[in-house]
C-alpha cells in the first residue's frame, strides 16, 4: 500500500492506494467513529461492489445505502436531493459519515451532499474509476451540473480519507480507462516533464493496466494533485493549472449533451487547443505541442 498526504489549512488526510486497500475501510471508520454511515453509489458500481463495501462497514456502524442512476446526465439536483433525503430518513446526524463509492460523478454528488447536510458532515472517497483515483477524489471539489453549465454549483469540502483500490479497475470499460489517462497526461503536461516522458514510454503498459505501472502512475498523479491542492486549496492561483484542457472540454461536454463525450475524453481533446494556444514563437516548440 502506498500513502499520499494532502494538507490543507486546518485539515489533512491520507490517500491510500494499491491493490486490496478497500480492506482499510473499517480502520478508517474506527478512526472516525461515526454514529452511522451512508454509502452513496450508482446502479452500475452498486451491482458490483456495494455488498462488499456494506459488509466492511457494517461491523463498524449502522450502514445504509443510496443507489443513484448512472451517468453525467444525473449529476444534478435530483441525485443530490436523493442523497439528502436518504440521510434525513435514516436519521443521520452531525457524526454520520457519507462514503462515495464510484467514479467522479458519484464522488462529486456525495461530497456535495455531505457538504450541505446539516451544514457539513464528514465523507470518505472510495474512487472506482481511474479518473476518480488520479483526480476527482482528491482535493475536495464537489458539486453538480446545471442546465447553464457544468459544475456551476458546488463547494470545497475535503474528504476524511481517500481509499483507491486498483482492483476496482478490473471491471472498468476500456473507454473509461482512456478517459482517466487523459487526466493523467494533463498532470504530466502541467507539472512534471519526467513524468510526461515516462507516460510516453509506458503508455501501452498503462492501457493494459499492468499492475506496477498503474501503481506508479496513480501514486505520481495523486502526489502532483495533492501538492497543488495543499498549496492552493481554494483555487486562488496555482490550482487553476489543474483545469488545463477543461475550458474547451466543458464546452464540448455541454454542447454535445452530457454523457456523449466522457469527461476525460473531452478534457483530452481540450488539451490540444490549449497546447496550441500556449505556443509562442519559439516557445514551446511545435514538437512539444504535437507530443500532447
Distance CA 67, CA 251 (A): 29
Task: Count CB neighbours of 3 within 10 A.
Answer: 13
DSSP code at position 135? I
The least distance separating ligand NAD from the CB of residue 179, rounded to whole angstroms, comes to 5
The one of ligand NAD, ligand GLY, none whose footprint includes residue 132, by CB under 5 to 8 A per kind, is ligand NAD
Q: Which of residues 179, 199, 206, 292 is near ligand NAD by CB under 6 A?
A: 179
The least distance separating ligand GLY from the CB of residue 239, rounded to whole angstroms, comes to 5
Distance CA 103, CA 209 (A): 17
- 11 carries an active-site annotation: no
> CB within 8 A of 22, min separation 6: which ones?
52, 53, 56, 126, 163, 165, 167, 168
The one catalytic residue in 243, 254, 269, 291 is 243
The residue among 116, 137, 141, 113 whose CA lies nearest residue 125 is 137
Question: Which residue is listed with cell 514510454?
Answer: 201
- 186 carries an active-site annotation: no
Closer CB to ligand NAD, 61 or 102, in the complex:
102
For residues 91 and 129, the answer to whether their CB atoms sit within 8 Å is no
Closer CB to ligand GLY, 25 or 242, in the complex:
242
Residue numbers of the site for ligand NAD (CB under 6 A)? 42, 44-45, 48, 70, 72, 75, 102-106, 108, 128-129, 131-132, 135-136, 139, 141, 151, 168, 171-172, 176, 179, 263-264
Residue numbers of the site for ligand GLY (CB under 6 A)? 135, 139, 141, 239, 242-243
Amino acid at each position: 500500500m502506498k500513502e499520499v498526504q494532502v494538507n490543507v489549512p486546518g485539515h489533512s488526510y491520507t490517500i491510500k492506494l494499491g491493490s486490496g486497500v478497500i480492506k482499510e475501510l473499517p480502520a478508517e471508520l474506527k478512526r472516525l467513529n461515526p454514529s452511522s454511515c451512508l454509502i452513496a453509489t450508482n446502479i452500475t458500481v452498486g451491482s458490483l461492489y456495494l455488498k462488499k463495501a456494506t459488509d466492511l462497514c457494517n461491523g463498524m456502524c449502522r450502514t445504509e445505502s443510496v443507489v443513484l442512476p448512472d451517468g453525467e446526465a444525473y449529476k444534478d439536483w435530483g441525485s443530490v436531493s436523493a442523497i439528502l433525503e436518504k440521510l434525513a430518513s435514516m436519521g443521520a446526524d452531525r457524526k454520520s459519515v457519507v462514503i462515495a463509492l464510484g467514479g467522479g460523478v458519484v464522488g462529486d454528488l456525495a461530497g456535495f451532499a455531505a457538504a450541505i447536510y446539516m451544514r457539513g458532515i464528514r465523507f470518505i472517497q472510495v474512487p472506482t474509476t481511474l479518473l476518480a483515483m488520479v483526480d476527482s477524489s482528491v482535493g475536495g471539489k464537489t458539486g453538480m451540473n446545471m442546465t447553464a453549465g457544468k459544475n456551476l454549483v458546488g463547494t470545497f469540502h475535503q474528504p476524511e480519507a481517500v481509499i483507491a483500490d486498483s482492483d476496482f479497475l478490473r471491471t472498468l470499460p476500456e473507454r473509461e480507462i482512456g478517459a482517466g489517462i487523459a487526466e493523467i497526461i494533463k498532470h504530466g503536461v502541467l507539472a512534471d516533464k519526467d513524468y510526461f516522458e515516462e507516460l510516453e514510454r509506458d503508455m501501452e503498459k498503462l492501457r493494459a493496466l499492468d499492475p506496477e505501472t498503474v501503481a506508479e502512475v496513480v501514486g505520481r498523479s495523486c502526489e502532483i494533485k495533492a501538492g497543488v491542492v495543499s498549496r492552493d486549496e481554494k483555487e486562488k492561483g496555482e490550482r487553476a493549472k489543474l483545469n488545463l484542457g477543461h475550458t474547451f472540454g466543458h464546452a464540448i461536454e455541454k454542447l454535445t449533451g452530457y454523457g456523449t463525450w466522457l469527461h476525460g475524453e473531452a478534457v483530452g481533446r481540450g488539451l490540444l487547443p490549449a497546447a496550441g494556444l500556449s505556443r509562442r514563437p519559439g516557445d514551446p516548440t511545435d514538437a512539444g505541442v504535437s507530443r500532447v
